[in-house]
Amino acid sequence: MSTLFVILMFSSGMPILYPIGLIFYCSTYLTNKLLIIKLYQKSQTLNRTIPIFSMNYLKIGLCVHILVGVFMLTDQATFKTNTNDSRTILDEYDPINKLDLLKDIQ
């Protein structure tokens, strides 16, 4: 559960965590499946409390994912732009702006 929370918390800023989480959970699933089939005994006390407990924590994880994602994507230091130059890279390839620049030179 803690691995899922870390993936949810930081995946907005680091999308590489999604494939890493997929690899982790696939390997964990296959390992647990092998161990349950070959080594473990059937549990006598399994009931609905664990899935309900997990669903409550997933709701909290979703809220944390949204809050941290909003913080990461709206941070001014992350998406800093150069305010000294009013022209952008796209302005260099725009033919209308090139005509305006030629008018200013003449």
Predicted pLDDT of residue 44: 75
Query: Per-residue confidence at 94, pLDDT binned at 50, 70, 90?
Result: low
> Confidence band (pLDDT; 50, 70, 90) for 18?
very high
When comparing pLDDT for 101 and 21, which is higher? 21
- Confidence band, pLDDT 50/70/90 cuts, at residue 32: very high
Q: Tens digits of per-residue pLDDT, 41-59? A: 877 777 888 888 889 999 9
* 12, 72 Cβ separation under 8 angstroms: yes
Instruction: Indicate the pTM of the whole model.
Output: 0.58
Name which residue leads in pLDDT, 94 or 51: 51
CB-based contact 13:72 (threshold 8 Å) = yes
pLDDT of 100 over the 80 cut: no
Cα distance between residue 48 and residue 61, in whole Å: 20
